[in-house]
Amino acid sequence: MSSPRFDPSQYDSQLADKAARLRELLAPFAAPEPEVFDSPREHYRLRAEFRLWREGDARHYAMFEQGDKHTPILIEDFPIASRRINELMPRLKAAWAEPTLGHKLFQVEFLTTLAGDALITLCYHRPVDAAWQAAAEKLAGELSVSIVGRSRGKRLVVGRDYVNEELTIAGRTFRYRQPEGAFTQPNGEVCQKMLNWAYEALGQRDDDLLELYCGNGNFTLPLATRVRKVLATEISKTSVNAALANLADNAVDNVTLVRLSAEELTQALNEVRPFRRLADVDLKSYAFGSVFVDPPRAGMDPDTCELTRRFDNILYISCNPETLAQNIAQLHDTHQVSRCALFDQFPYTHHMEAGVLLTRR
């Protein structure tokens, strides 16, 4: 399926095509009918990144087709991006006419939230300095945003280097810090639907949860309220720090977070080698009944996939249904697909997010 252009009139048929593709991928495993969670038709994307393109004396927001860095698509507004991003774009463009902010500026990144927070990152081919900081502080006040200035080897922060998000899961509102430069789900409305689905699919349990690839704690916070305790792992230091702050901000106190890769945790649980980061963690004190995984596009490596086989319940969120299907094929002799879902995180593209609950046969 090619990548369709933005056209809200085509949204329903494109979503139906994705659902058909997910059904086809999961058909070999006798999966039930997928639950389908749609996206807002426009203004759904909370992040956007633009290059700047010069034409004469004017500079424009620009994007490029993949593999083509020479033919810019000039952008005045961006209907897939949040209303906050669209409101900020012309005001920022007016501000970069001022040399202190505009000189050698080559890239602009917006990060916004459903809760209304916004952060702008400005990237330069020159050092950001005290004069830049003074101008950025004035602009941040005018726009009611935080601003991060980046140049080679230097980063200046005006306000905060994260945005605050609020998502409601099963009637409870969770607060999230989302750091600049770290991964966050781009489609906030669909993320909220995904969290509610995972919360429901896990169910209320009296045993423990292992979570791999926990990121900033996006799923950790609501899922922790469903189990006795959680052991969560994440390799990115930025994400670990955000997750720890999010756990504290939401008074979630039954989670132990360890900075390990999924592969390293597999080695620890298999007692292949000890890890200093686990020195204060008693792995034998956990009674794991379920594992939650949200791996990168490559899916789980074979050893991690084998690790998940130990658990009665495998809750799996995937940004690549092809590698999801490969992982299910490895587990299919012991686990069956009890529930599955399509989350349309990326309308008007061929990309989709999927979720499955695998239960022991």
Annotated binding site for S-adenosyl-L-methionine: 185, 213, 218, 234, 294
Contact 92, 143 (CB under 8 A): yes
Question: Which residue numbers belong to the known binding site?
Answer: 185, 213, 218, 234, 294
Residue 271 annotated among the catalytic residues of the structure: no
Burial class (CB in 10 A: 0-12, 13-18, 19+), 102: middle
Which residues are registered as beta bridge partners of 339?
357
Contact 244, 275 (CB under 8 A): no
DSSP string, 149-211: EEETTEEEEES-SEEEEEEEETTEEEEEEEETTS---SBHHHHHHHHHHHHHHH---SSEEEE
E-strand spans in 200-324? Answer: 208-212, 230-233, 255-258, 288-293, 313-318
CA within 13 Å, CB half, 279: 2
Q: Which amino acid does the sequence have at 295?
A: P
Q: How many Cβ atoms from other residues are within 10 Å of residue 19's Cβ?
A: 17
Read off the tokens for 166: 């609020």
Nearest to 314 by CA among 202, 186, 233, 174: 202
How is the beta sheet containing 146-151 ordered, strand by strand? 73-75, 58-63, 47-55, 105-112, 118-124, 146-151, 154-158
Question: Helix, strand, coil % (nearest 5) of the chain?
Answer: 35, 30, 35
Residue 353 annotated among the catalytic residues of the structure: yes
Q: How far apart are the two ends of the chain, measured CA to CA in Å?
A: 34
Contact 119, 181 (CB under 8 A): no
Q: Which of 123, 191, 319, 340 is catalytic?
A: 319
Nearest to 177 by CA among 246, 239, 113: 246
Catalytic residue numbers?
319, 353
